[in-house]
Amino acid sequence: MPVHLYAGRNIIISSGQDRQSFENLHHAMFVFQAEKIVKQFNGNLALNQVSLDVPEQSIYGLLGPNGAGKTTLIRIINRITAPDSGRLFLNGHELSASDIYTIGYLPEERGLYKKMKVGEQAVYLARLKGLSKQESLSRIKHWFEVFEIRGWWNKKIEELSKGMQQKIQFIVTILHEPKLLIFDEPFSGFDPINTAILKKEVLALRDKGATVLFSTHDMGSVEQLCDHITLIDKGRTILQGEINDIRSAYKSDTYEVRFTGDINLVRPALKADFELVEQSTTGGTGTAKIRIMHHSNGNELLALLINKIHILSFNELIPGMNDIFIRAVKDNT
């Protein structure tokens, strides 16, 4: 009999009915799931058995180099195109056409009507999402105040800069308060100040109950915002999990030490347990990178160093998502 792990317990699946109950329970644990999605274009495999499990009230990063298949997957979720095989689930049930109205989608290629006025267009798009005119106006005015753009109401979209258009696109994406938000390169065209404002609002939406599927090439934003990530390359999943677990898995047990004193006093004590990888000295302050070998640990290294040099700082080097992205894609190649 198949055995599955759920909530830390082994569950024995003994019949088709039990299996269905387990699958229903599993789907209910996540706001959104993609299950073994396959998509081909002209014989080229754009997505090859790609799966996602997006927990409720999380920010989930969908990562990959250009041409990896990210946009194809996002278009499938939004029913712009259909998968060749695989299933999609939203709030525990298979995704249907009517679910699109409960999703907020901010595409990389913006879709605003250039000749329409800002306020008029915002109301029009809010009504398409099922809001009344009164509710649309109330929510639009709130968000225009948040982004300090009250004076844009009668401007045409074509009169705005790319960054200004981006603010409008973001607002109309979230106006109907969807539980699932899909952002494709949301910070493109923003200066650092407006990027910080937008990140703050994304986190606030998450804290109010929204779940965010977030595609970007900006690994700094991934580290700041994301709880989980999936990295795809050439249409295939190559890395997936909680971001802190992934960063820990890629660490090399290397510590950076800032100190004063003579590093040469340390060398004989390192022996075979530690490796001095790199060192430099600037203005009387030294910096060394030391890798732990075999079964030693950071506490043992620190105890050894304290007896030889004066420690100013001692930190384990945890790789950033940018380095992990490059390494994972290179390994896949």
What CATH number has the domain bearing residue 214?
Answer: 3.40.50.300
What is the structure's pLDDT at 190?
Answer: 83
Question: Rounded CA gap, 196 and 190, in Å?
Answer: 9
Considering the domain architecture, whether residues 116 and 173 belong to the same structural domain is answered as yes
Considering the domain architecture, whether residues 221 and 274 belong to the same structural domain is answered as no
Among the three residues 247, 265, 289, which one is the final residue of a domain in this structure?
247
46 within a domain of the structure (yes/no):
yes
Considering the domain architecture, whether residues 265 and 119 belong to the same structural domain is answered as no
Cβ neighbours around 125 below 10 Å, total: 23
325 within a domain of the structure (yes/no):
no
Whichever domain contains 296, its CATH number is: 3.30.70
Question: Rounded CA gap, 288 and 286, in Å?
Answer: 7
Considering the domain architecture, whether residues 10 and 130 belong to the same structural domain is answered as yes
Number of domains in the chain: 2
326 within a domain of the structure (yes/no):
no
Burial of 140 (0-12, 13-18, 19+ CB in 10 A): buried
∠ Cα 113 119 121 (to 5°) = 30
Considering the domain architecture, whether residues 64 and 205 belong to the same structural domain is answered as yes
Judge whether 8 and 17 are in contact, CB under 8 Å: no
Among the three residues 185, 216, 247, which one is the final residue of a domain in this structure?
247
Q: Which of 54, 35, 47 is nearest to 237 (CA)?
A: 47
Considering the domain architecture, whether residues 228 and 144 belong to the same structural domain is answered as yes
322 within a domain of the structure (yes/no):
no
What is the structure's pLDDT at 11?
Answer: 43
The residues near 318 (Cβ < 8 Å, ≥ 6 apart) are: 247, 248, 251
Judge whether 154 and 119 are in contact, CB under 8 Å: yes
331 within a domain of the structure (yes/no):
no
What is the structure's pLDDT at 30?
Answer: 92
Question: Rounded CA gap, 43 and 58, in Å?
Answer: 35
Range of the domain at 281: 252-317
The whole-number mean pLDDT for each consecutive block of 10 residues of the chain, a chain of 333 residues, reads 41 53 59 96 93 96 94 94 96 90 85 89 91 94 91 91 88 92 89 90 95 93 95 95 94 94 89 91 92 90 93 95 94 85
Question: Rounded CA gap, 185 and 150, in Å?
Answer: 25
What is the structure's pLDDT at 163?
Answer: 83
Considering the domain architecture, whether residues 65 and 149 belong to the same structural domain is answered as yes
Considering the domain architecture, whether residues 32 and 104 belong to the same structural domain is answered as yes
Considering the domain architecture, whether residues 178 and 104 belong to the same structural domain is answered as yes
Considering the domain architecture, whether residues 240 and 304 belong to the same structural domain is answered as no
303 within a domain of the structure (yes/no):
yes
Considering the domain architecture, whether residues 29 and 140 belong to the same structural domain is answered as yes
Considering the domain architecture, whether residues 220 and 270 belong to the same structural domain is answered as no
Among the three residues 247, 279, 300, which one is the final residue of a domain in this structure?
247
330 within a domain of the structure (yes/no):
no
What is the structure's pLDDT at 108?
Answer: 79
∠ Cα 326 241 103 (to 5°) = 100
Question: Rounded CA gap, 136 and 168, in Å?
Answer: 14
Question: Rounded CA gap, 88 and 275, in Å?
Answer: 49
104 within a domain of the structure (yes/no):
yes
Question: For the stretch 280-300, what's the b/e string if a residue is b when 16 or more beta carbons lie within 10 angstroms of its beta carbon?
Answer: eeeeeebbbbbbbeeebeeee
